[in-house]
């Protein structure tokens, strides 16, 4: 359909100006993404060895016997 490419919302204008005035915010966003989301690939062999070497936890570990 018809798409108006010349329209820019007030919010978009605000955010573009804000990020232009304060570039450290965008850097902080990238650092936060790297911290939470950008992880190294999982090594399946190492993961299976860790699982095989773990000791099973007893149920209700905080219950006094």
pLDDT tens column, 5-61: 789 999 999 999 999 999 999 999 999 998 888 888 889 999 898 888 888 877 776
User: Which two three-digit tokens encode residue 36?
Assistant: 């939470």
Report pLDDT for 64: 66
At 1, the pLDDT band (50, 70, 90 cuts) reads: low
The residues near 26 (Cβ < 8 Å, ≥ 6 apart) are 19
The helices-and-strands tally (H runs, E runs) of the chain is 3, 0
Distance CA 32, CA 55 (A): 34
């Amino acid at each position: 359909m018809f798409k108006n490419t010349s329209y820019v919302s007030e919010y978009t204008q605000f955010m573009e100006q804000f990020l232009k005035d304060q570039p450290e915010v965008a850097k902080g966003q990238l650092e936060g993404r790297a911290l939470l989301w950008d992880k190294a690939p999982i090594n399946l062999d190492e993961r299976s060895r860790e699982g095989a070497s773990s000791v099973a936890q007893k149920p209700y570990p905080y219950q006094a016997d």
